[in-house]
Structure 1
Amino acid sequence: MIFDKLKRLYIVFDSPEIDSPPVFSSGDVVSGKVVLNLSGESKVQSLKLHAEGFAKVHWTESRSAGSSTAYTQNYSDEVEYLNRREVLLQADNGEHTLLSAGRHEFPFSFQLPEETLVTSFEGKHGSIRYWVKVKLHRPWATVRKIKKEFTVIEPIDINTPALLAPQAGTKDKMARVWYRNFGQVSITAKIDRKGYTPGEVIPVFAEFDNATSRSVVPKAYITQTQTFIARGTMKQKQAVVATLSGDVVGAQRRETWHGRAIKIPPVGPSILQCRIIKVEYMLRDMPPIDNERLIRDQSVLCLELPLVMGTIPLHPFGSRTSSVSSQYSVNLEWLRMAIPEQPEPPPDYSSVVTDEEAERNITAPHPEEDLSGIMEHPLRAFVQEFRFRPPPVYCEIDPNPQPLNMRRRCMTC
């Protein structure tokens, strides 16, 4: 009876944190070791490592070909992102290597492609996976295979102009039964930017105008749409990941949201670069009507604002939208006006009044006049004399400084 002397074969990835699995991105170096535990001396022909990464989709659809005939159609496709092979142990003579009993470690290291990879993903009709596979060849023994997956997350920096741009839209729908109109329902919504990260709060600015004779309940949703593509056919799966409900808006009434907060739960980042798998997010605003007969398909009233779930959060001072006041920029537009650090001096008198006008308004000195009856005339009669008087010369130094002792008394009073 032949006993297998291989007690255990496993893979260990190098990770800065022992308790958490490692996460990589394009261009990173994946390193670790393959560990063999032998109960006795054993001959090994080779130990080979194979790193792979694929995006795969697959689903089945049943189609009818007649009254009593049906057939099944399979849809599948795949995209390769990583394919690397490495030999960890190979006998020089091509026969075998004798390993003693105990523990043996074989380190490995390889670099992920510099071009953009795709984030790891698990869905109903497809997945994006990366793994390391090891094959152990020994004489007179079956090939031992082990595989261990690792996670790849491609960074999405939301601090880019495209993802910092505000998103806004308007939509309206006429509520009717047959040929009778019951009024119009309108939605206007705005969010500060397109890119967010999980855990952030989205302030929603919206206005719901209910011009119908029925009540509506404003709601906002964050939805995730998974799209799988194969052989020119598309399969989608949609789920609601967050909900925000408002107050009931009665007939002929209007409700305004001044930054209603909807929090993003822990969800995966957006996947937009894969040819066969996409993960997209959307903020949807829709006021459901309590009478479904008025609007048969209420989805046509849904206002959609695209979202991108990133991995790199907003920089604290990276842009105007990163400030707290920018979340309420609708009501604080005046903050955009820049205030100069130092005041500019007033314009020169010659730049305001022409020479001819100045000479015309300069009067010759008059002899002393009797001012005893000055208060008996209207005051505006004397205002004209001061219209073209030049302003005082601008100077940084106070021409009439206060005495030092007076300043001290003012400070103590």
Structure 2
Amino acid sequence: MVDFRKSRPHPPFYSNGICVERASALKFLGLHLNGDLTWRTDTATLIKKTQQRFHFLHSLAKELLVSVDTLHPCVVCQLHCSGKDSSTEEVLIAEQFFIIIMQQVKNFSVEYNPIDKNNVFTSGDYIAGRITFDVTQDCKIGSLWIKMKGKANVKWTEHYGKTVVVYHNKEKYFSIKTFVIQDGEGNNIVTQGCHMYPFTFQIPQQDLPSSFKGSWGKIKYTLEANLSRSMRLDSKAKTHFTVVHKGSRDPAFMVPQRSIIDKKMNLFSSGTVSMEVTIAKTCFLQGEGMKVVAYIQNRSSRGVRPKYCLYKKYSYFAKSKRRVETKNILKEVGESIPPFTGHTVIRFITIPLATCASIFNCNIIKAEYRLKVYLDVKYASDPEIKFPVIILPALQGSDEEHLPTNPEFEANSKMGATYFMQEPTASLPRF
């Protein structure tokens, strides 16, 4: 309780018959409050903490075998021109030392070797690469490790009035961590110069979904390297690599798809239109041409025009909720069919190479595709037919070029690894 009355002295204050103790100072929420409502105690405490921090710098400067002549020229100029005392000189030496130790490890990076001309991997492949960094002067490494992991995560928000609900879910497939340099084992001193540490991992032989990135979710596979040193910030580097799921060419997906629709015209036109559409199969490769055969019977009083649309349908799942993302990939328009005529129209639609492969073996992300064939009828609803389409990755080259090989392992013989792998999930789509 704070008493703002100006009367002196203040009479004792009683609560439930007990006299409340009077204090000259009080610490509340990190602030030191004085009885006279001044900041003297709080200011003195902050100054004391600051002096304790600077004492560490002074001690560090005294222990260093660093003279003014070894400092950076700008620091030497600052010392001589400003005429600073010895304590200031020690602080500047300590600051210069921190600059030096923070720059001991530079250009820390991790990279991998492409496995083929497409630079894509599948389950069971070996991925080899290297960790590289430059050392400006001899230093001791606490540990150096490399981790390969694969995971999927989704996240989106929904607004219910003034309430914002965040939907988030994740799925972890594997995590493999290998130590190149382990703390407490052997001589961990690295000399000045450029250093390279090779590594090799085998991607687990399990039913992994293809790499994916959508509006509210992604499936990614990464290589992460970390170098730790005592009393320093860790040096970190990360790179992504692409994994594709080859999929299964089930015979059921290689048979033709066929559908028929009839529609009666109303309002501004009369008669009927019918359309019978056939596509060769369900599974297609990226970049492959899709042959669409449509027999159109126009018995109406207006001309109709066939149109084609290939679109994606991505689904994200979290907290028993589903978020759907749809977007057209390509659209094509055919020639007009005159009234009271019938034509067979053949169209070849090429699936773009950049299209993501279909995903059915992930529990939180699903990537599907549809081919919509419809007739553009003026002043009437358009009759349409939709076919499910499965897109498989187009891995160029023969299978021999992509066989998993185990390159010679050149890294430190003391490397150890920890593993986490998820059980495979069912992957056959159902329509």
What is the TM-score when the length of structure 1 is the normalising length? 0.67
Aligned residue runs from structure 1 range 132-211, under 5 A = 132-156=223-247, 158=249, 160-177=250-267, 182-211=270-299
Q: How does 1:16-35 map to 2 (within 5 A)?
A: 16=115, 22-35=119-132
Displacement, 1:232? 2.1
Among 223, 235, 256, the alignment partner of 2:344 is 256
Residues 90 and 21 of structure 1: CA distance in aligned 2, closer, same or farther (over 3 Å): farther
Counterpart of 1:288 in structure 2 is 376
Name the CA shift for 1:105/1:313 in 2 (closer, same or farther; >3 Å): closer
Give distance in 2, aligned partners of 1:21 and 1:264: 18
Using the alignment, how far apart are the partners of 2:115 and 2:320 within structure 1?
A: 43
Match 1:75 to one of 167, 175, 178: 167
- Whether 1:303 and 2:394 are equivalent positions in the alignment is no
Q: CA deviation at 1:214?
A: 3.0
Instruction: Select between 104-113 and 41-50 the one with higher mean Cα deviation.
Output: 104-113
Q: 2:314 aligns with which of 222, 226, 242?
A: 226
Distance 2:220 2:141 in 1: 30
* 1:61 corresponds to which of 158, 166, 170: 158
TM superposition shift of 1:175: 3.3
CA contact (8 A) 1:157 1:311 kept: no
Q: 8 Å contact 2:254–2:281 — kept in the other structure? A: yes
Question: Shift of residue 312 of structure 1?
Answer: 5.1
Residue 357 of structure 2 corresponds to which residue in structure 1?
Answer: 269
CA distance in 2, matches of 1:108, 1:43: 21
- 8 Å CA contact 2:129–2:200 kept in 1: the answer is yes
Highest CA radius of gyration, 1 or 2? 1
Residues 317 and 323 in structure 2, CA contact (< 8 A), matched pair in contact too: yes
| Cα distance in structure 2, aligned partners of 1:303 and 1:163 | 18
Give the match's secondary structure for 2:151.
strand
**Whole-Å separation in 2 of the counterparts to 1:162 and 1:229:** 28
| Aligned residues of 2:312 and 2:328 also touching (Cα < 8 A) | yes
- Give the equivalent residue in structure 2 for 1:335: none
Alignment map for 1:59-138 (pairs within 5 Å): 59-64=156-161, 70-92=162-184, 97-138=188-229
| SS class of match (1:215) | coil
Counterpart in the other structure of 1:375 = none
Identity rate, percent:
26
Question: Structure 1 stretch 237-246 or stretch 45-54: which is displaced more?
Answer: 237-246
- Structure 1 residue 240 corresponds to structure 2 residue 328: yes
Structure 1: runs of 5+ lacking an equivalent: 65-69, 316-413
The equivalent position to 2:138 in structure 1, one of 41, 45, 63, is: 41
Query: Does the CA-based 8 Å contact 1:121-1:129 persist in structure 2?
Result: yes
Query: Taking structure 1 as reference, are residues 314 and 308 closer, same or farther at Cα in structure 2, changes over 3 Å only?
Result: farther
CA contact (8 A) 2:286 2:394 kept: no
Calculate the aligned-residue CA RMSD, in Å.
Answer: 2.4
**1:196–1:313 CA contact under 8 A, matched in 2:** no
Show the counterpart of 1:382: none
Q: Distance in 1 between matches of 2:392 and 2:260?
A: 26
Q: Secondary structure at the match of 1:162?
A: helix
Q: Tell me the secondary structure at the aligned position of residue 376 of structure 2.
A: coil
Contact 1:157–1:313 (CA<8 Å) still a contact in 2?
A: no
Amino acid at match of 1:194: T
State the distance in 2 between where 1:137 and 1:261 align.
Answer: 57
* 1:32-85 CA-partner distances (Å, limit 9, x unpaired): 111121011011110122222111111111123xxxxx2112111111112111
Q: Distance in 1 between matches of 2:340 and 2:222?
A: 59
CA contact (8 A) 1:243 1:262 kept: no
Per the TM alignment, residue 249 of structure 1 is displaced from its structure 2 partner at its CA by 2.2
Task: Give the direction of change, closer, same or farther, for the CA distance of 1:54–1:176 in structure 2 (3 Å limit).
Answer: same
Alpha-carbon offset, residue 181 of structure 1: 8.7
Which residue pairs with 2:46 in the alignment? none
- The match for 1:51 is 148
Contact 2:118 2:396 in 1 (8 A): no
Deviation for aligned residue 1:173: 2.9
- CA-to-aligned-CA distance 1:148-204 (integer Å, 9 cap, x gap): 11111111354x412311111112233334xx9943332210011111112222221
> Contact between 1:156 and 1:312, CA under 8 Å: does it hold in 2?
no
Amino acid at match of 1:284: K
Could you tell me how far 1:88 is from its partner in structure 2?
1.0
In 2, the alpha carbon distance for the partners of 1:162 and 1:103 equals: 56
| TM-aligned CA distance change 1:314 to 1:90, over 3 Å | closer
Q: CA deviation at 1:124?
A: 0.9
Unaligned runs of 5+ in 2: 1-95, 398-431
- Greater relative CO (CA pairs within 8 A, separation 6+): 2
Q: Distance in 1 between matches of 2:200 and 2:190?
A: 22
1:86 Cα shift?
1.1
Q: CA deviation at 1:117?
A: 0.4
Aligned residue for 2:342, secondary structure, equals strand
Q: Structure 1 residue 89: deviation in Å? A: 0.3
Tell me the amino acid that sits aligned with residue 350 of structure 2. K
SS in 2 for 1:287: strand
Per the alignment, do residues 313 and 86 of structure 1 end up closer, same or farther by CA in structure 2, a change over 3 Å counting?
Answer: closer
